[in-house]
């Protein structure tokens, strides 16, 4: 019988680079540049969903997390991408 462990999985939901990121633009214009942080040239806002997943190995945990992400539509693939990262 295979050993099951728990893995911490991060789902990083990021806007596609070719699309506008209004939240990032607002942070850049209204907070950073207005307060003279002119060395910042771009801001992109993403979100992270953290899961603890039971699985036989890290790759299995990542696969399970991606299924959850896709089946539950945790992100819109037309405007965002999802990167799956994990640790034991």
**Between 2 and 13, residue with greater pLDDT:** 13
- For residue 22, the SS3 value is helix
Q: Compute the distance between CA of residue 88 and CA of residue 67 in angstroms, rounded to an integer.
A: 19
Q: Is residue 82 over pLDDT 70?
A: yes
Asked if residues 79 and 47 have their Cβ atoms less than 8 Å apart, the reply is no
Q: Is residue 2 over pLDDT 80?
A: no
Asked if residues 75 and 12 have their Cβ atoms less than 8 Å apart, the reply is no
Q: Which pLDDT does position 18 carry in this prediction?
A: 92
Q: Which pLDDT does position 1 carry in this prediction?
A: 66
| Closest listed residue to residue 64, CA positions, set 2, 24, 4, 1 | 4
Q: What residues are paired with 5 via a beta bridge? A: 55
Q: Which CATH number fits domain 5-87: 3.40.50.880, 3.40.50.620, 3.30.1280.10, 3.40.800.20?
A: 3.30.1280.10
Domain coordinates of the chain in residue numbers? 5-87
What pLDDT digit, counting tens, does each position of 34-53 carry? Answer: 899 889 999 999 999 999 99
* Mean pLDDT, rounded, for 60-85: 94
């Amino acid at each position: 019988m295979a050993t099951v462990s728990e893995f911490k999985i991060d789902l990083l939901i990021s806007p596609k680079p070719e699309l506008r990121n209004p939240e990032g633009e607002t942070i850049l214009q209204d907070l950073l540049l207005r307060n003279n942080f002119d060395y910042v040239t771009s801001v992109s806002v993403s979100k992270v969903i953290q899961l603890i997943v039971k699985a036989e190995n890290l790759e299995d945990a990542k696969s399970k997390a991606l299924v959850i992400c896709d089946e539950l539509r945790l992100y819109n693939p037309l405007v965002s991408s999802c990167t799956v990262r994990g640790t034991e």
